[in-house]
Amino acid sequence: MTDLSPFYLPRGSDDDGEHFEATFSTTGPWFSDAQHMGPPSALLVRALERLDDGRAPDAPGLVTARVTVEILGKVPAGPVVVSAEVERPGRSIQMAGATMVAGGRPVLRARSWRLAREDTSSVTTGLAPDIPGPDTATVREERPDGWLPGYVDAMEWAWVTGWLTEPGPGRAWIRQRVPLVDGEEPSPLQRLMAVADSANGIAAPLDVRSWFFLNTELTVHLHRDPVGERFGLDAATVVGPSGLGTASAEIHDRDGHVGRISQALTVRPR
């Protein structure tokens, strides 16, 4: 296993936003100089969580219902700048956005719907069945041929069914081995977003040595606050006949089903 650093090293802030150095730990399995989308998605959520929601101090607050991350181009490792703002203020419904800039151009944009918190525990319904817990899963430390180091090594992968080189649906529990930002403890939502973009990897439909199946966006819907540091993905991928695919997953934490993931894929030969 390669030496692991935090995903991001803070480099101060200015009028443009917060500056970070994206380390080797962020690099994904496809390109040695580009980030996997998990860490930068989590960093954008960190910026969104730090926004003032505009509510009174004694109000119940807002809870994140959806996060969508749009990938505007290759996200290089190295210096990045992150900024965020409330785009649609509201006491009970609010939209916030965040942007990552690298090399002077936007490379990622995230938007989040945040909704008023209410007690609906007595009418909870529609949850997906629990998947076997992480204590039943098998941790695999090896990295398969064709998968580049970095992010894959910075995460712990405990497999219930499948593996990175086994085509078809897969189930795995994943957790970060390193901090998101040096010197900080990630929030559960940040940890979830660092995992969520792995749905198409857990359900890898094709050999990465021969095919690209890259996602152009990531959407996460939540029906409650996530908890803990380990998240289970029950993932599947569909590849269509014209270079398009979709990856989807139910996401679980230690309390059960917490939300759903979807990704649009571009599928083409390497």
The per-residue pLDDT for 59 is: 60
Q: Assess if residue 202 is contained within a domain.
A: yes
Per residue in 192-241, pLDDT (tens digit) is 999 999 998 899 888 888 888 999 999 999 999 999 999 999 999 999 99
Q: Assess if residue 13 is contained within a domain.
A: yes
Encoded tokens for 116: 């008023």
Encoded tokens for 262: 């979807």
User: Residue 196 sits in a domain of what CATH number?
Assistant: 2.40.160.210
Phi first, then psi: give them for residue 99, nearest 5 degrees: -135, 140
Tally the domains of the chain: 1
Q: Assess if residue 2 is contained within a domain.
A: no
Q: Assess if residue 127 is contained within a domain.
A: no
**Nearest to residue 171, comparing CAs of 95, 251, 109?**
251
The per-residue pLDDT for 54 is: 64
The per-residue pLDDT for 145 is: 79
Per residue in 124-133, pLDDT (tens digit) is 999 999 999 9
**Nearest to residue 237, comparing CAs of 164, 139, 176?**
164
The per-residue pLDDT for 60 is: 66
The per-residue pLDDT for 73 is: 92
Q: Assess if residue 55 is contained within a domain.
A: yes
* d(C-alpha 145, C-alpha 70), whole Å: 29
In sequence order, what are the residues at sequence separation of 6 or more whose Cβ sits closer than 8 angstroms to the Cβ of residue 84?
17, 44, 47, 48, 50, 51, 96, 97, 98, 99
Q: Which amino acid is at 178?
A: V
Supply the DSSP string of 79-90, one letter for each residue. EEEEEEEEEE--
Supply the DSSP string of 24-86, one letter for each residue. GGGB-SS-TTBB-SHHHHHHHHHHHHTS-----TTS--EEEEEEEEEE-S--BSEEEEEEEEE
Which residues does the chain have with pLDDT short of 50?
Answer: none
Instruction: Decide: 191 and 175 in contact? Cβ < 8 Å.
Output: yes
pTM summary value: 0.94
Domain that holds residue 23: 8-117+134-269
DSSP H stretches of helix in the chain? 38-49, 151-154, 188-196, 199-202
